[in-house]
Chain A
Amino acid sequence: MTKIAVEKLNLFYGDFQALINVDIRIPANKITSMIGPSGCGKSTLLRTVNRMNDLVDGARVDGKIIIDGDNVLDSGYDLVSLRKRVGMVFQRPNPFPMSVASNITFGLRVHGSAKRGDFDNIVEDSLKKVLLWDDLKDRLDRSALSLSLEQQQRLCIARLIAVKPEILLMDEPCSALDPIATERIEQLMIELKENYTIVIVTHNMQQASRISDSTGFMWLGELIEYGATDMIFTNPKQKLTQDYITGRAG
């Protein structure tokens, strides 16, 4: 089942076209990875889905991104409800400079989506889902900035989970982490995909092939090839894709 359908998406930063006619259907409850050389538009594509690019002066889009039947690029689309359903994890962990617990309850307070009496339970549930509960249960009022980078990134994921999104967009979520932490976050993603649709941007080709079900390869703003991950990595149809994954291009 398709969760996100991107149709004829073009995006311009001023005169520069960063996305060219991108068409992609992202399946629900799967991990989809986007790969490609630096500057090819992976982050831009991700940031168009939750409309974070609205913040960029001079950015223009046309085309459609259909989620659950509605085009989220419509000017009247409610950004708050969009971003509640489509969470984003950033390259550098970015917990708020507040306590662990307040980081998690932030979304609940913003959306008024839970009673204060339920906050403790939600904090516990969310931390359990990202396997932080045992480490942090006695340190819930400690500043989130005192955690290790891996814990910070997990906390950022927990903070999203608390608002019950349907889609998780992850832009190089492991690039600030060491290999062991990376592996554990990957494990977490695989566990999460049962309940969430995950799109991950990564420069790490092994990572893409280890965790994702389907993979898209981008090049200079275009989606060159998109398909099942093992197909892309073992038997790509396009020469460009082949060159890139074998390290001859990019």
Chain B
Amino acid sequence: MNIKFRRFSEFLIEKAIFLSGIISILFVVLIFAFLLKEGLALFKYVSVKDFIFGAEWYPISEPPKFGIISLIMGSVWVTAGAIIISVPIGIAAAIYISEIAPRKIRGILKSGIEMLAAIPSVVIGFIGITTLVPLVKNVFGLSTGLTALSGSIMLAFMAIPTIVSIAEDAFYSIPKRYKEAALALGATHWQTIWRVLIKAAFPGIVAASMLGIGRVIGETMAVMMITGNVAKIPNSIFDPVRTLTATIAAEMGEAVRGSDHYFALFAIGIVLFVITFLINLIADIYINRELK
């Protein structure tokens, strides 16, 4: 009786877990199917080539123009800038916290970083608009501080806490014996960090960077507030830009359901999805290769 009951409850639990797994997969599939259905409908009106490579985005003029290359470039500039700024700083900070800082300072820094991660992005955007934008304008002598660079700096600021805390974990979990081995061979502290610890933590560092970037790549509100929102192909990091995500957020409210404009915003969603998917794929392949 007892055994039967136990078997039965095991059976129920197993099925329940199985069911929740299936449901979450189902949701993903449904969302993706919806995205595809609405997004692909656009291509009745424009060709894929004109959509991706078209230079003009005038969704409500007559006839409308649905070229998103300027939006793609906007996203690329802002994100690339954010990566270039946040990854080195994040990793350097992680190394400082895990390998160099005295124990007391380490604790303070770690909780500080966690607090940074908890600031909502709109708040960061707001602070950015009031402090960063004028700063960028003055330092570089620009006509406006609402530029791709401001967006990059702000996104980097949002990515850094994630990068630092995950990379710091990666450094922390390196077996102590690697460090001992290096020091016992006569390596200096710095040589040990550079030649052994960074190598050993490398998969973790890549993961930290990916997650940090992942956190900001879909970031919308703050970027919309700070990059100037101009759908033009930027010539430099000092130009105002508009990103893919900001476009969707700004225009979804006014797009008429079932209109070509509405489909175009979903098609942008597909592009974002593909980009994110590719980045994850590359990171996966890279991490797996490193681990071998």
**CB of B270 to closest CB in A, whole Å:** 40
Known pairs A80-B188, A92-B177, A110-B191; A98 contacts B199 (CB<8 A): yes
Q: Mark A61-84, 1 if CB is under 8 A from B, else 0.
A: 000000000000000000111111
Q: What 0/1 pattern do residues 13 to 33 of B give for CB contact below 8 A with A?
A: 000000000000000000000
Q: Is the CB of B186 within 8 A of A80?
A: yes
Q: Per a CB cutoff under 8 Å, which of B185, B195, B196 touches A83?
A: B185
Chain B residues near A96 (CB, 8 Å)?
178, 181-182, 196, 199-200
Q: Nearest B residue to A92 by beta-carbon distance?
A: B177
Interface string of B156-178 (1 = CB under 8 A from A): 00000000000000000001011
Chain B residue nearest to A111 in the complex (CB): B186
- Give the CA-CA distance A107 to B188 in the complex, in Å: 11
Question: Is B178 in contact with A97, judged by CB distance below 8 angstroms?
Answer: yes
Best-buried of A87, A95, A110, A111 by chain B (most CB within 10 Å):
A110
A50 in contact (CB, < 8 A): yes
Chain A residue at smallest Cβ distance from B187 = A110
Instruction: Give the segment of A116-124, A127-135, A155-163, A217-225 that binds chain B.
Output: A155-163
Nearest to B191 among chain A residues (CB) is: A110
B183 within 8 A of A: yes
Chain A's closest residue to B181 (CB) is: A94
| Cα distance, A104 to B195, chains bound together (Å) | 13
Expressed in whole angstroms, the Cα–Cα distance for A16 and B189 within the complex equals 28
How many angstroms between the C-alpha atoms of A90 and B178 in the bound complex?
11
- In the complex where A90-B181, A94-B178, A143-B292 touch, is A107 in contact with B195 (Cβ < 8 A)? no
| Chain B 175-230 residues near chain A, CB threshold 8 A | 175, 177-178, 180-188, 191, 195-196, 199-200
**A159 engages B185 (CB within 8 Å):** yes
Taking CB as reference atom, which chain B residue is nearest A94?
B177
B199 adjacent to A87 (CB under 8 Å) = no
Given A90-B180, A94-B178, A94-B181, A83:B186 Cβ within 8 A:
yes
Cα distance A166–B164 in the bound complex, in angstroms: 42
User: In angstroms, how far is the closest chain A Cβ from the Cβ of B179?
Assistant: 9
What size tier do the contact residues of chain A reach? 20 to 34
Is residue A34 within 8 Å, beta carbon to beta carbon, of the partner chain?
no
Contact with B along A84-103 (1 / 0, CB 8 A): 10011010101111100000
A154 to chain B: closest CB distance in Å? 14
A93: min CB distance to chain B, Å: 9
Select the residue from B175, B185, B191, B199 with max chain A CB neighbours within 10 A.
B185
Q: Is the CB of B195 within 8 A of A106?
A: yes
Chain A residue contacts of B199, Cβ below 8 A: 96-98
**A186-223: which have CB < 8 Å to B?**
none
Known: A94-B178, A96-B196. A84 touches B186 (CB 8 A): yes
Q: Which residue of A lies closest to B203 (CB)?
A: A97
Residues of chain B within 8 A (CB-CB) of A80 are: 186, 188
Taking the complex as formed, is A52 at the interface, i.e. its CB lies under 8 A from any CB of chain B? Answer: yes
Closest A residue by C-beta to B194: A110
Using known A-B contacts A90-B177, A96-B178, A143-B292, determine if residue A50 contacts B184 with beta carbons closer than 8 Å.
yes
Among A55, A82, A83, A96, the most chain B Cβ lie within 10 Å of the Cβ of: A96
Chain B nearest Cβ from A146, distance in angstroms: 9
Q: Does A109 belong to the interface (CB within 8 Å)? A: yes
**B181 contacts A81, C-beta separation under 8 Å:** no
Shortest Cβ gap from B121 to chain A (Å): 36
Q: CA A95 – CA B199 in complex, angstroms?
A: 13
Closest beta carbon of chain A to B107's beta carbon, Å: 15
Pairs of residues from A and B, 5 with the lowest C-beta to C-beta distance, nearest first: A83-B186, A94-B177, A84-B186, A88-B184, A94-B181
A-B contact pairs, 29 of them (CB 8 A): A50-B184, A52-B184, A80-B188, A81-B186, A83-B183, A83-B184, A83-B186, A84-B186, A87-B184, A88-B184, A90-B177, A90-B180, A90-B181, A94-B181, A96-B178, A96-B181, A96-B200, A97-B199, A106-B187, A106-B196, A107-B186, A110-B182, A110-B185, A110-B188, A110-B195, A143-B292, A159-B185, A163-B185, A163-B186
| Interface contacts beyond A94-B181, A106-B195, A110-B195: sample of 11 additional A-B pairs, CB < 8 Å, sorted by A | A55-B180, A83-B185, A83-B186, A87-B185, A90-B181, A90-B184, A95-B181, A110-B187, A110-B188, A156-B181, A163-B186
